[in-house]
Chain A
Amino acid sequence: MLLRASSDAIDAGADLQGAVGGSTGSVPHGGLLMAYAEAANRDPEAARALDDDVIAVVGEAGLVDAAVIVAVFNGLVRSADGIGIPLDDGMLAATVDARAVLGLDRFVGAANNL
């Protein structure tokens, strides 16, 4: 939702498939950032092998930003799943199509919402 809204705000279409491993649309350096996010979530030590590549395109501060976002969302997802947070009403209605396309309704946590 925020990926789409923030991309629309700068007239840069984002392909939401990027969230589940597909095309990243026109997000600058989206492919590398997605690869970094994937590695950082699955094996933080191995993700460091991508540090130089990420720095080359978004700088050291960009690498820190990417690491910070992976880190903070690892807390947020556990807050959501541990507490069974229902999707906010507006978000639930606004994401029907996107959830279907991305297959998010198959996640275990969907049962707490649908």
Chain B
Amino acid sequence: MAVAGTWWTATERVAIVAATRRSLPLPLGEAAPDIAGLSDAVGSDGLSPLTHEVVRCLVVDAGRITRDWATAAIDRMGPGRYVEVVALVVQTIPIDLLCDLLGRPRQDLPVPKRGEPSRLVPDGLGQEGAFVPWAVDGWLGPNVARALSFVPEDNSRRMAVVMSMYSGEHFEEMVWRHRALSRPQVELVAARTSAVNECFY
């Protein structure tokens, strides 16, 4: 996070994580702003109202994201910047939430280093039903593992977090002995979490 990413500078990446931590549900009765009408002029923290709204929606309203909303956001931000925002949000929330649940302080945000984003689009991407292009050439794994392959370095970091916190090297095994909870207990907690968040996938 402290170094430039693929599409955002380190300063912007840290600001996105800070915005993730500050995101709150809208007051009852207040409608979400139309993504098409939000300014993309950056504010004092280096992020635009458009970026702030994308972050807010991912953090507090992800289960209500529609293809139309995502398409409008991606049209304005570009797929790379959009996917990298998703990547930063989904790497921040698990670590922060774990700290909160265990009564531990959240990690301090790093001091951003200088540097420019690489803006490199990986080879082998294509459209296969997701909102954004993703790895298609020779892909054999589950779709969730290639979700953020538009930004491969962040996708690798995200999947390392997932592997560390969820299955380790035991995903294909239905009987787990490497952790305190059994696999059915783990999957019950996982399924309830997905349902509370109204996640179809």
Chain A interfacial positions (CB closer than 8 Å to B) = 2-3, 5-10, 12, 14, 16, 18-21, 24, 27-30, 33-34, 36-38, 40-42, 44-45, 47-48, 58-59, 61-62, 64-88, 102, 104-105, 107-113
Contacts and interface: CB of A to CB of B under 8 A. Distances in A.
The prevalent SS among residues of B at the interface is helix
A82 B86 contact: yes
B196 A87 contact: no
A18 B192 contact: yes
A68 B142 contact: no
Contact of B193 (A44, A70, A111): A70
Contacts of B72: none
Contacts of A71: 93-95, 97-98, 101, 165
B35 interface: no
Contacts of B143: 85-88
Contacts, number: 255
Residue of B58, B142, B187, B189 with most partner-chain A CB within 10 A: B189
Given A10-B175, A107-B198, A77 B188 contact: no
A84 B130 contact: yes
Contacts of B90: 75-76, 78-79, 82
Interface in B105-121: none
Contacts of B64: 108
Contacts of A64: 102, 180
A71 B58 CA distance: 15
A108 B198 contact: yes
Given A79-B144, A83-B132, 9 more contacts: A2-B190, A6-B184, A34-B188, A66-B181, A75-B161, A76-B194, A79-B86, A86-B128, A108-B63
